[in-house]
Structure 1
Amino acid sequence: MTRQMKTIAEHFPISGSFTISRGSKTTASVVTCHVSEGGFSGIGECVPYGRYGETIDSVLAAIETMRPQIEAGIGREELRQTMQGGAARNAVDCALWDLEAKKAGIPAFTLAGLAEPRPLTTAYTISLGEPEAMAAQTARYAHRALLKVKVGTADDASRIRAVRAAAPDSAIILDANEGWTENNLAYHFAVCAESGVSLIEQPLPAGHDAPLASISRPVPVCADESVHKTEDLPKLAGLYDAVNIKLDKTGGLTEALRMRDAARALNLKIMVGCMVGTSLGMAPAVLLAEGAEFVDLDGPLLLARDREPGLHYEGSLVYPPRPALWG
């Protein structure tokens, strides 16, 4: 059977804006990959990320370079070994999972040897801003079980305390996005402990996280920008307590499942996160997130318009994808 591949760039407006320590954006730009074979079509989505040197054009070009192998029938494991990790491989890998599941007539979770997925409690993201603005935004979502709060300034204490006061009952993940320094690390850790923060994500810049080995960590610390592939894990085991696995970093579900198992073997907790994308980008990650200690798959909730059909969200719960979406 002859395979055919098609890729397109799509743009989805964000509701308001999304702000982290590196800047703001108002649009989620994604690349969608379709792989068709024998009357079946698989689909995958990725989010090119500037922090990792990716653009829409570079991701489209990277996928196009692989067209001969993809259309010749390359499998997921061979793709993992042949194509560099990152957003481009994620779109192709997830399209191949979807295609294989459809051809076999079984759900993707069965194909992956996973238990049937259940609804998961996902975080909802609070954008970075002035303390008063963050408190006001948090108050609107204080009914949610889990909040992910963007920080990463020279002095985040007032922001942390303002958010905690606005959501006294919510569990909080604090994401510094590489914005702290060795000099203010202990101070911010103490404020997080005082405020009952559950997890601190990537406080120091990737490659400069050695101080985490010699400082008391009163709150668990999670690697994000510091971890992309399974081979990154051994050197992080003494620095971090958890790792954030994102399909756009790992280059797809195939590598992400491998990384999850390796992280567990190193006694690292698992967080499954996302870029700001549509339900199609989240759907494979929902399978990965079963059993994870922390889930952050709120990308579609931040959009003004999602795909149809999309994932079903109910309160803080995200439900498994339906076949019409993916898998």
Structure 2
Amino acid sequence: MTVTLEVATDSWPIEGGFTIARGSRTHANVVVATLREGAHAGRGECVPYARYGETVEGVMDDIARLAPEIARGLDRAGLQQAMPAGAARNALDCAFWDLEAKRGGTTAAALAGLAEPRAQITAFTISLGTPEKMAADAAKAASRPLLKVKLGGEGDDARIAAVRAAAPQARLIVDANEAWTEALFARNMAACQEAGVELIEQPLPSSADGALATLERPIPVCADESLHTSADLERLAPLYDAVNIKLDKTGGLTEALVLARKARAMDFRVMVGCMLGTSLAMAPAVLVAQEADYVDLDAPLLLAQDREPGLAFEGSLLIPPGPALWG
């Protein structure tokens, strides 16, 4: 039976906006690929990201371009060679997983040879802002067990101190989104150490992260923008202690599972993260998150409205998706 492809885009408002070192956003703009075969449909969602040269229009075109190949029998295995890693392949890869599960009357976890997923604690993100604004946001989230604090370079020592004072019991991880310089590194690292931060994500630009080989890092440092696929791990091994796996960077669940296994074998700590998407984008990542040291799949909690059905959360506890959502 022929598999047909549909591509659509949605925009979802973010509650209160979202700010990182590279700028601010008010909406999460996503692309959804749907594969249909008879009565069965599989969906996958991706988030095109300008940092990697992606646009919504370009990603939609890249996905739609494969419609004839899919109709002629291109499958998930063939997709890995037909398209490079990135958001477009992620949407299609996850749609293939969902379609395979629904067609076979099973689950994506079973198809991957994994146990059925368990509920996981996710980090909750505090957007970049003034120390006062970040302290107010942290105070509202102080009962959550794990906060992820967005930093921005100059002034980060004051920001992280303010967040720690406002949320004294929460575990903290931080994400600089490439905003630190070598000159700021020691001061900001010391401030994070004073605040009891457990992990620092991508402090230096990916183009300058070779400096991490000689900089003291008393807190583990995690690669995000510097990591896309398992092919990157050899270069990153001397520089980073952890890696952040995002399906929009790996090009889908298929490569994300390979990357996670290789990273653990190389003694990296593993975080599973996300772009700003809906529950449909988070659902496949829940499978990778099962063996992760840190889970950061809170995007639906940051939206003013999520798709229905969506993931269920009990505070910061993420409940695995049901088949009506994905997988």
Tell me if TM exceeds 0.5: yes
User: How big is the shift at 1:69?
Assistant: 1.5
**Partner SS state of residue 207, structure 2:** coil
Tell me the distance in 2 between the aligned counterparts of 1:128 and 1:147.
Answer: 13
User: How big is the shift at 1:38?
Assistant: 2.8
Q: Is the 8 A contact 2:47 2:87 kept in 1?
A: yes
Q: Is the 8 A contact 1:101 1:107 kept in 2?
A: yes
Tell me the distance in 2 between the aligned counterparts of 1:235 and 1:114.
Answer: 29
What is the one-letter code of the residue matched to 1:243? V
**Partner SS state of residue 30, structure 2:** strand
Tell me the distance in 2 between the aligned counterparts of 1:229 and 1:2.
Answer: 31
Determine the structure 2 residue equivalent to 1:178.
178
Q: Is the 8 A contact 2:153 2:184 kept in 1?
A: no
Relative to the length of structure 1, the TM-score reads: 0.99
Q: 1:320 aligned to 2:320? A: yes
What is the one-letter code of the residue matched to 2:66? M
**Partner SS state of residue 325, structure 1:** coil
Q: 1:134 aligned to 2:134? A: yes
Q: Is the 8 A contact 1:152 1:203 kept in 2?
A: no
What is the one-letter code of the residue matched to 2:304? A
Tell me the distance in 2 between the aligned counterparts of 1:81 and 1:2.
Answer: 21
User: How big is the shift at 1:184?
Assistant: 1.0
Tell me the distance in 2 between the aligned counterparts of 1:101 and 1:46.
Answer: 19
Q: Is the 8 A contact 2:153 2:181 kept in 1?
A: no
Q: More displaced, 67-76 or 35-44?
A: 67-76
5 Å-filtered alignment, 1:204-223, equals 204-223=204-223
Relative to the length of structure 2, the TM-score reads: 0.99
Tell me the distance in 1 between the aligned counterparts of 2:15 and 2:55.
Answer: 22
Determine the structure 1 residue equivalent to 2:88.
88
Uncovered stretches (5+) of structure 1, i.e. residues with no partner = none
5 Å-filtered alignment, 1:147-186, equals 147-186=147-186
Determine the structure 2 residue equivalent to 1:66.
66
Tell me the distance in 2 between the aligned counterparts of 1:269 and 1:78.
Answer: 30
Q: Is the 8 A contact 2:5 2:64 kept in 1?
A: no
User: How big is the shift at 1:73?
Assistant: 2.1
**Partner SS state of residue 243, structure 2:** strand
Determine the structure 2 residue equivalent to 1:201.
201
Determine the structure 2 residue equivalent to 1:189.
189
Tell me the distance in 1 between the aligned counterparts of 2:72 and 2:244.
Answer: 33
Tell me the distance in 2 between the aligned counterparts of 1:30 and 1:70.
Answer: 22
Q: Is the 8 A contact 2:118 2:320 kept in 1?
A: yes
Over aligned residues, Cα RMSD in angstroms? 0.8
What is the one-letter code of the residue matched to 2:260? R
Determine the structure 1 residue equivalent to 2:230.
230
Tell me the distance in 2 between the aligned counterparts of 1:265 and 1:150.
Answer: 29
Tell me the distance in 2 between the aligned counterparts of 1:73 and 1:271.
Answer: 34
Q: Deviations over 1:254-289 (max 9, x none)?
A: 010011111111110100000010000000001110
Tell me the distance in 1 between the aligned counterparts of 2:196 and 2:143.
Answer: 17
5 Å-filtered alignment, 1:1-327, equals 1-327=1-327
Q: Is the 8 A contact 2:142 2:167 kept in 1?
A: yes
**Partner SS state of residue 24, structure 2:** strand
Tell me the distance in 1 between the aligned counterparts of 2:192 and 2:9.
Answer: 40
Q: Is the 8 A contact 1:274 1:297 kept in 2?
A: yes
Tell me the distance in 2 between the aligned counterparts of 1:73 and 1:149.
Answer: 45
What is the one-letter code of the residue matched to 1:232? D
What is the one-letter code of the residue matched to 1:102? K
What is the one-letter code of the residue matched to 1:139? A
Q: Is the 8 A contact 2:161 2:195 kept in 1?
A: yes
User: How big is the shift at 1:136?
Assistant: 0.3
Tell me the distance in 1 between the aligned counterparts of 2:268 and 2:69.
Answer: 35
Q: Is the 8 A contact 1:173 1:200 kept in 2?
A: yes
Uncovered stretches (5+) of structure 2, i.e. residues with no partner = none
Paired residues, what number? 327
User: How big is the shift at 1:155?
Assistant: 2.4
What is the one-letter code of the residue matched to 1:280? L
Tell me the distance in 2 between the aligned counterparts of 1:247 and 1:125.
Answer: 18
**Any runs of at least 4 consecutive aligned residues in structure 1 with deviations exceeding 6 A, and if so which?**
none
